[in-house]
Amino acid sequence: MITRLQNPALALRIAFGLMAALAGLDKFFNILADWGSYVSPVAAQVLPLPLPMLMGVVGVVEFAVGVLILTSWPAIGAYVASAWLLLVAGNLVLGGHFDVAVRDVVLAIAAFTLARLMEARASQRVESGARLEPRTHHATA
């Protein structure tokens, strides 16, 4: 990855990791928002779980995504966050929360960008490691 992209990539990684983890934890406490009020009536009817249990599952998923992004699997976590945010945006549109849905689509694009930056960084490390290893040629008999 280009050196000047390392700081922005790190900022995105920390921001997305903390956002997902904290939002996931808050699904159990409702300090930041009344999360259940964002579940569309369509989703509430279709999903087989009662709303409190659904919020618990959502909280666990979001917390896990945050941990993935902040630890050893940032690209995987960012791809999951991107897809998750698009699903959330769809739910928000069904519930009439268009302003928040637009924000989540933009966040999904940013999470996808983070995933690609993390892949580029990982690819560069592999290529750098390959260049640093001495090339030896073994003669075969």
- pLDDT tens digits for 16-68? 999 999 999 999 999 999 999 999 999 999 999 999 999 999 999 999 999 99
Q: What is the per-residue pLDDT across 12-21, written as a single tens digit (0 to 9) for each?
A: 999 999 999 9
Is residue 125 predicted with pLDDT exceeding 70? yes
**pLDDT the model gives residue 124:** 79
- Does pLDDT of 84 surpass 50? yes
| pLDDT above 90: residue 2 | no
Residue 128 phi/psi, 5-degree rounding, is: -65, -40
The Cα–Cα gap between 25 and 65 comes to 12
For 110-130, the DSSP string reads HHHHHHHHHHHHHHHHHHHHH
